């Protein structure tokens, strides 16, 4: 629905009672006539778009010339209107603005590199003449993105990419953070709807679980400020889906681990109150180290002033709080538009507002017209505040995300350079590998033959390419360790049946299992993808069963009828020597539990199902599997020694699996085949005495039902 001209004038009068209403009516009528008969992709009259753009500019309290330009910004390009006619009817100022917007519209900012450089230069030259041109253009792009659904999928994707790459960063660089966030989120909706919807669904689930956290924390802050007799307004909000998505990507975190998905603003009357409020918040909540920034004492170059701090709020979740005065808030919301905004009919004089045209003029003057590529590099450095542009010693530019380190830079050049990196120099000075890079720095990577990626590097790098390369290298290194461990496991298992784990035997087993070679088999053994018992059983099926019979032919329990079958409960894994009890199941095996098994609690009210049993006396075969949970140091050879110790006790490892891996320790579960409880105690005692074993206990998985 199109906004009526009188409603539009009313919006302007709200902040500028001295507006030239007649001139706005004249522009409205002129634009309506010029676009008559034209329709948008949605089927609406085309003039609804210029009117909507004008309404967006009223939210920024812009002057009459900007509002009138918005109403006619497409007339010269799309209708029979001319520059001369606009100048005659509305004056040279409006004609220049309309012409400037028309020229910006015709620039293909996402075109090929060489042409893009020239177009960027034209963009900034136009902005340096009159900044209101870009304000109208940004409002034009915002309305187009809000109504993008009527376009073809291909056009939507092209516009969304251009918005994400050009217009959203430009809005942010000019201090119009609200517009940047909305443009990013609208583009995100087109480019990755599944990711956006998943974040929204997670938010809904979170609200259902925790209630309205924003309201609760807002009330908490207001209460503390009232106690301190400080007059201030408190606002809270959940951050935009794209903002959350970007943090998840940059920090490689899951949604549940993000600390600042909510943001709060405290707006007060004076700078002194800002610091008093900071004291109240830090006095009541614990500040998060490294998350405090004072942009009041050191404002950003676009005039932005505020105090940022993150504290541990309810349930220990990180809460970001911004503290600013009302004048600072106007600049924070309007950005460059604050320089043009009106209040009560006169240009508002805000001490925190700066003229952002200054940096554009400086930028444009710095480069001559012929040096387009250099111009583009520096323009991107200025606009893309979420990216870093560094240079090689030869002068080539490397583009990285903000927060990138020399390691990211090394992997961006080549995986080989990254893998062999030992240190770096920034602008000729040696720095640690975790140093955060800044725009314009020259980076030199120092490599060494034989250097391999460290597991700690994963936490240093930010780019997906670097993380993937490091993980791949670590996997290859792990494979070498797994091969050595597999060899130990195979040796112990073969010794158990009186055989040798020769290369030929292992090669034969690998072939029987469809694997490439014996090294592949050893790697799978070491990583617990294949058990040593399976390998031995595959090569010597008769020998394994025969040995069990020879060692112990009386592996039974006493107390059951001869024809009654039974099985051992997987939850408690009873072994000979332990007190046991049988639980009957109609038409099924009797299940045997250790007397102290927690699973027996559910049968306490059913005594008729219990059978008192005990093990047959004598020597049992080492066929009773017990799971051991072990924590060992992550040192070379530790796993091999553990396997050797188990083998020396004439126990066989039937399975091995890692449950957690840390840089210094491994948690693993080893399934060991034992004779009886005495054999179990012997194995555990030997392992507990090993210096590299931090912890050992019997592992009972109560989730495994009999």
Letter string b/e over residues 120-132, b meaning 16 or more CB atoms within 10 A of that residue's CB: bbebbebbbbbbb
Which residue is catalytic, options 78, 93, 373, 629? 78
Distance CA 139, CA 100 (A): 14
Distance CA 62, CA 56 (A): 10
- Partner residues linked to 312 by β-bridges: 286, 318
Distance CA 421, CA 453 (A): 8
Instruction: Tell me whether residue 77 is one of the annotated catalytic residues.
Output: yes
Distance CA 376, CA 15 (A): 38
Q: Compute the residue count for the chain.
A: 706
Please count the other Cβ atoms lying within 10 Å of the Cβ belonging to residue 147. Answer: 17
Taking each helix axis as running N to C, give the angle between helix 518-526 and helix 464-496, from 0 to 180 degrees, rounded to the nearest 10.
Answer: 100
For residue 471 the two structure tokens come to 């993980």
Place of tokens 């350079």: 417
Which residue is catalytic, options 44, 77, 85, 371? 77
Distance CA 396, CA 189 (A): 34
For residue 472 the two structure tokens come to 């791949």
Dihedral angle over CA of 43, 49, 52, 58, nearest 10: 180
Dihedrals φ, ψ of 589, to 5°? -65, 155
Place of tokens 């991107």: 380
Pairing type for strands 580-583 and 443-447 reads unpaired
Distance CA 184, CA 587 (A): 65
- Which among 275, 170, 285, 287 is positioned nearest to 224, based on CA atoms? 285
CB contact set of 690 (below 8 Å; sequence gap of 6+): 641, 642, 645
Q: Give how far Cα 253 sits from Cα of 181, 213, 462, Å.
A: 21, 21, 11
Q: Report the alpha-carbon angle 270-274-279, nearest 5.
A: 145
Distance CA 552, CA 407 (A): 60
Question: For 202, what's the count of Cα atoms within 13 Å in the CB-facing half-sphere?
Answer: 18
Distance CA 353, CA 318 (A): 31
With beta carbons less than 8 A apart as the criterion, state whether 164 and 393 touch. no
- The helix (H) or strand (E) run that includes residue 567 is strand 566-568
- Which among 608, 658, 362, 242 is positioned nearest to 485, based on CA atoms? 658
Place of tokens 């520059």: 83
Please count the other Cβ atoms lying within 10 Å of the Cβ belonging to residue 573. Answer: 23
Q: Is 609 left (phi over 0), alpha (psi -120 to 50) or beta?
A: alpha
Report which DSSP code applies to 166: I
Report which DSSP code applies to 669: E
Distance CA 533, CA 455 (A): 32
Decide: helix, strand or coil at residue 569: coil
Residues that are catalytic: 77-78
């Amino acid at each position: 629905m199109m906004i009526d001209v009188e409603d539009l004038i009313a919006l302007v009068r709200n902040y500028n009672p001295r507006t030239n209403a007649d001139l706005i009516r004249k522009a409205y009528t002129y634009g309506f006539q010029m676009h008559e008969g034209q329709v948008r992709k949605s089927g609406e009259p085309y003039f609804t778009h210029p009117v909507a753009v004008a309404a967006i500019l009223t939210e920024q309290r812009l002057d009459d010339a900007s509002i009138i330009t918005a109403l006619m910004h497409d007339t010269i390009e799309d209708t029979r209107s001319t520059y001369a006619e606009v100048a005659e009817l509305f004056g040279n100022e409006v004609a220049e603005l309309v012409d400037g917007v028309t020229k910006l519209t015709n620039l293909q900012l996402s075109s090929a590199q060489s042409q893009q450089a020239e177009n960027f230069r034209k963009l900034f030259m136009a902005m340096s003449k009159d900044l209101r041109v870009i304000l109208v253009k940004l409002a034009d792009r915002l309305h187009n993105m809000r109504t993008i659904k009527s376009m073809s999928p291909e056009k939507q994707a092209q516009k969304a990419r251009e918005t994400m790459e050009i217009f959203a960063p430009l809005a942010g660089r000019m201090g119009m953070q609200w517009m940047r966030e909305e443009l990013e989120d609208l583009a995100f909706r087109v480019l990755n709807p599944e990711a956006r919807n998943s974040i929204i669904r997670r938010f809904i689930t979170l609200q259902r679980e925790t209630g309205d956290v924003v309201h609760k924390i807002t009330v908490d802050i207001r209460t503390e400020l009232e106690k301190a007799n400080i007059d201030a307004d408190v606002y809270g909000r959940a951050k935009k889906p794209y903002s959350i998505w970007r943090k998840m990507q940059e920090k490689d975190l899951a949604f549940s681990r993000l600390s600042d998905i909510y943001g709060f603003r405290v707006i007060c009357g004076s700078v002194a109150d800002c610091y008093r409020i900071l004291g109240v918040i830090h006095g009541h909540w614990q500040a998060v180290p490294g998350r405090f920034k004072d942009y009041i004492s050191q404002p950003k170059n676009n005039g932005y002033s505020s105090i940022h701090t993150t504290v541990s709020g309810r349930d220990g979740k990180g809460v970001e709080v911004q503290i600013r005065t009302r004048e600072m808030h106007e600049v924070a919301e309007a950005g460059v538009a604050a320089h043009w905004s009106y209040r009560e009919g006169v240009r508002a004089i805000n001490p925190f507002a700066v003229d952002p045209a200054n940096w554009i003029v400086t930028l444009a003057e710095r480069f001559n017209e012929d040096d387009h590529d250099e111009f583009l590099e520096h323009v991107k450095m200025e606009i893309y505040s979420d990216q870093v542009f560094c240079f090689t010693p030869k002068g080539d530019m490397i583009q990285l995300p903000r927060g990138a380190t020399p390691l990211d830079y090394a992997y961006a050049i080549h995986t080989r350079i990254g893998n062999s990196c030992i240190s770096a120099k920034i602008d000729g000075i040696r720095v640690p590998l975790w140093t955060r890079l800044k725009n314009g720095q020259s980076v030199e990577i120092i490599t060494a033959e034989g250097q391999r990626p460290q597991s700690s590097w994963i936490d240093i790098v930010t780019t997906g390419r670097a993380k993937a390369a490091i993980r791949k290298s670590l996997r290859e290194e792990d494979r070498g360790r797994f091969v050595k461990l597999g060899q130990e496991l195979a040796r112990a298992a073969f010794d158990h049946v009186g055989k040798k784990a020769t290369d030929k035997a292992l090669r034969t087993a690998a072939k029987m299992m469809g694997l490439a070679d014996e090294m592949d088999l050893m790697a799978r053994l070491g990583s617990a993808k294949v058990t040593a018992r399976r390998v031995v059983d595959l090569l010597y099926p008769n020998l394994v069963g025969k040995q069990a019979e020879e060692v112990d032919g009386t592996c039974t329990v006493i107390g059951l009828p001869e024809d009654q079958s039974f099985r051992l409960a997987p939850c408690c894994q009873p072994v000979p020597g332990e007190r046991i009890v049988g639980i009957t199941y109609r038409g099924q095996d009797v299940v045997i539990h250790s007397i102290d098994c927690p699973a027996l609690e559910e049968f306490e009210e059913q005594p008729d199902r219990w059978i008192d049993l005990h093990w047959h006396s004598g020597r049992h075969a080492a066929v009773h599997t017990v799971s051991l949970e072990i924590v060992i140091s992550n040192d070379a050879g530790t796993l091999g020694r553990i396997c050797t110790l188990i083998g020396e006790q004439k126990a066989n490892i039937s399975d091995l699996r890692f449950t957690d891996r840390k840089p210094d320790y491994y948690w693993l579960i080893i399934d060991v085949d034992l004779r009886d409880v005495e054999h179990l105690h012997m194995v555990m005692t030997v392992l507990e005495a090993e210096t590299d074993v931090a912890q050992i206990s019997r592992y009972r998985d109560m989730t495994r039902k009999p």
